[in-house]
Amino acid sequence: MSVAVVTDSTAYLPPDVVARYGIEVVPCYVVLAGRSGREGEEITPEDVARALGTRGQRVSTSRPTPGDFVAAYRRRLAEGADRVVSVHLSADLSGTWDAARLAAGQVGEHVVTVVDTRSTAMGTGFAVLAAARAAAEGATAQEVAAVANGTAARTRTLFVVDTLEHLRRGGRIGPAASLLGTALSIKPLLHVVDGTVVPLERVRTTGRAMTRLVQRAVEAAGGAGASVAVHHLAAADRAEKLAAQLREALPGIREMHVSELGAVIGAHVGPGAVGVVVAPAEVAPEEPEHTPEGTAEDPGEG
């Protein structure tokens, strides 16, 4: 059975990885002053950073349409796939998962499996990548979906923003809204929990926030073999410095990706945002201990 993996543009996978595994990426839409377009194709992170830095300009985003997904699914099936696993950002952050689900109903839910990663950016991307690797090794659609779900469940997404205002405007702030009253005097360290942006810590300076990002990432990695991504919007120097600190603090990293956030997520976190996504290595279940007959724990009969 051949399984095709589809995702949306907010996974922010490196282009070479997308090409290598044949992942289908369906773009979300971004609306700037006077124009709209597909994320990554017609609207760039630079466009969004420039707009957000201009007084009075607003940036809004919208999901792909169900028709966009139907076209993607049918294209992959026509190319020879028997099944499709479609892996997307949290349904609590976007209507993208719902659009994919509606499209799956049109194409056939026995053919298309839709996964909600309850995350975003490379929190979704690592799940997509794990799914694509499993598909390349010949896994079934059920197995591919399970790999995506398992990877997403283990992955931690941590980030720092210069201001919570962009999250507030976009309605993505969730319980982190409680921080708004002190937003001017703190640098909030946030994370994504079960698909929602939640406050993790309050720190007073950007330097302290970066230090805590590294420390939290090390805790999340739990040892060697983790995959790590560093994201930013209009903060390349800060991101590269953070990546260097993580490489030093996390020997044995399986892979690291450093990339600028695309327009959709960038519009909600704003310029200056920096984030870390950690996907710990999967730990194989331990073998149950076997106690031979006749030992002190199991003395047996006479």
Predicted confidence at residue 45, as pLDDT, reads 85
Residues shown for the chain: 302
Q: Which amino acid is at 200?
A: L
Angle ∠(35,239,176) on CA atoms, nearest 5: 70
pLDDT digits (tens, 9 = 90+) for 16-64: 999 999 999 999 999 887 788 999 889 888 888 888 777 777 788 899 9
Judged against a pLDDT cut of 50, whether residue 244 lies above it is answered with yes
Evaluate whether 217 touches 246 at the Cβ level (below 8 Å): yes
Tell whether the model's pLDDT for residue 96 goes beyond 90. yes
Q: What is the pLDDT of residue 283?
A: 59
Q: How far apart are CA 287 and CA 237, in angstroms?
A: 46
